[in-house]
């Protein structure tokens, strides 16, 4: 497939602009190709047996969403269509132009990819990731990732696709992750492996869907934010890749940090990079929210009078002695 580097960044239909800019998480599902639908709608087993791959993009960045992608197609087509014909591979080893062209072909009607394959993504927003991780009962990133994966697979089954084999690029220990998925999807053959995005073509394709969606989402968010941003760059997005290891990202965050509110919904406030800038570097303003007093609720400390309060008390009030001051404790 020829690659045209002159084309602008491809914004796939999996980027929902208004929801993305609101800071909410969202999912996108492609239409199921007619060739993959069951001949008997009441019996999913009459559909062609398919394999499904799962991968993510944007697990480590401090800016932007983490995107999970799934990709499915008939089992016999996995190698010849994806690996041999279109040369899908781990998205990290493909150039942005190649990734965009593959995604564009997948979304173009009458292309062989569009007619034979389906895909879906879930974008977990930076705001939701942080809110969940900062809860008193922590909902950590691995748990959020697991739930996103399960929900995507369940949705594909619900659309009538006959998934027989599932391949997943691991998070954590492959055996533990595989056992969890096998309990949830007992009828499928499940393989969880490290570097699955390089080993299994359907995982490679899921990797491309997730990566292109995240990159496009980051660009849409940047364009919306650029109007008020400092430290602009003519050579692309001033915040770079969004990773803490990217000097452009850290520089942009320092230049565009509000002393009270920090940043917008593009930022993962639970990341150490954001916490350090707000708390330990002296750039943020410490805000203490006063406790609301409705005049009816009695606080425990109200039972202890301070030493300099009016000592007049009724006879009954001092029958068992006067209240002790806090210093007695």
| Strand, helix or coil for residue 122 | strand
pLDDT in tens, 234-245: 556 889 999 999
Is pLDDT above 60 for 287? yes
- Look over the chain and give the mean of its residue pLDDT values, rounded to a whole number: 87
pLDDT at 170: 86
Two tokens at 308?
Answer: 């300099």
- Lowest-pLDDT choice from 85-94, 244-253, 260-269, 286-295: 286-295
Its pTM surpasses 0.85: no
Half-sphere exposure of 56 (CA within 13 A, CB side): 24
C-alpha closest to that of 204 among 115, 84, 305, 47: 84
The pLDDT assigned to 5 comes to: 45
Rounded CA gap, 118 and 32, in Å? 6
pLDDT in tens, 101-143: 999 999 999 999 999 999 999 999 999 999 999 999 989 999 9
Yes or no: say if 87 and 101 are a contact pair by the CB < 8 Å rule: no
Question: What does the pLDDT read at residue 1?
Answer: 44
Taking 90 as the threshold, does the pLDDT of residue 4 lie above it? no
| pLDDT over 70 (residue 12) | yes
What pLDDT score does 328 carry? 53
Which one is predicted more confidently, 282 or 157? 157
- CB-neighbour burial class of residue 181 (10 A; exposed 0-12, middle 13-18, buried 19+): buried
Q: Is the pLDDT score of 144 beyond 60?
A: yes
pLDDT of residue 226: 75
**Residue 51 to residue 203: CA distance in whole angstroms:** 10
156-206 residue pLDDT tens: 999 999 999 999 998 778 999 999 999 999 999 999 999 999 999 999 999
The residue-averaged pLDDT of 84-88 equals: 95
Q: What number is the average pLDDT over the span 284-310?
A: 63
For the cut 60, the answer to whether the pLDDT of residue 252 exceeds it is: yes
- The mean pLDDT of 32-59, rounded to a whole number, is 94
CA distance 325 to 309: 10
Task: Tell me: pLDDT of 221 over 90.
Answer: yes
- Min mean pLDDT across 103-112, 193-202, 273-282, 306-315 is at 306-315
pLDDT at 288: 77
Q: Evaluate whether 246 touches 208 at the Cβ level (below 8 Å).
A: no
pLDDT over 80 (residue 304): no
Cα 184 from Cα 186, distance rounded (Å) = 6
Name the pLDDT band for 291 (thresholds 50, 70, 90).
confident
pLDDT of 182: 97
Q: Is it the case that residue 80 has pLDDT exceeding 90?
A: yes
The percentage of residues in the chain with a pLDDT greater than 90, rounded to a whole number, is: 67
More confident residue, 67 or 321: 67
């Amino acid at each position: 497939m020829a690659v045209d580097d002159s084309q602008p960044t491809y914004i796939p239909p999996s980027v929902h602009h208004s929801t993305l800019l609101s800071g909410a998480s969202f999912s996108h599902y492609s239409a199921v190709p007619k060739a993959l639908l069951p001949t008997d709608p009441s019996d999913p087993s009459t559909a062609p047996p398919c394999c499904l791959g799962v991968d993510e993009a944007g697990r480590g960045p401090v800016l932007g969403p983490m995107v999970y992608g799934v990709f499915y197609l008939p089992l016999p087509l996995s190698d010849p269509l994806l690996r041999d014909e279109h040369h899908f591979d781990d998205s990290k080893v493909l150039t942005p132009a190649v990734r965009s062209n593959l995604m564009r072909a997948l979304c173009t009607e009458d292309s062989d990819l569009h007619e034979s394959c389906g895909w879906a993504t879930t974008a977990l927003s930076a705001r939701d990731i942080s809110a969940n991780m900062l809860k008193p009962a922590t909902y950590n990133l691995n748990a959020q990732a697991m739930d996103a994966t399960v929900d995507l697979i369940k949705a594909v089954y619900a659309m009538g696709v006959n998934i027989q084999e599932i391949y997943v690029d691991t998070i954590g220990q492959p055996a533990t992750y595989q056992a969890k998925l096998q309990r949830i999807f007992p009828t499928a053959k499940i393989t969880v492996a490290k570097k699955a995005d390089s080993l299994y073509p359907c995982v490679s394709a899921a990797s491309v869907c997730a990566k292109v969606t995240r990159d496009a989402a980051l660009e849409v968010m940047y364009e919306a934010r650029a109007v008020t941003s400092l430290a602009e760059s003519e050579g692309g997005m001033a915040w770079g890749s969004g990773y803490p290891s990217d000097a452009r990202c850290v520089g942009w965050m320092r230049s565009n940090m509000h002393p009270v509110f920090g940043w917008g919904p593009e930022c993962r406030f639970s990341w150490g990079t954001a916490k350090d800038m707000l708390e330990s570097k002296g750039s943020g303003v410490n805000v203490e929210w006063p406790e609301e007093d409705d005049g009816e609720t009695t606080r425990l400390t109200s039972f202890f009078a301070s030493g300099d309060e009016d000592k007049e008390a009724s006879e009954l009030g001092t029958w068992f002695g006067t209240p002790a001051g806090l210093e007695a404790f």
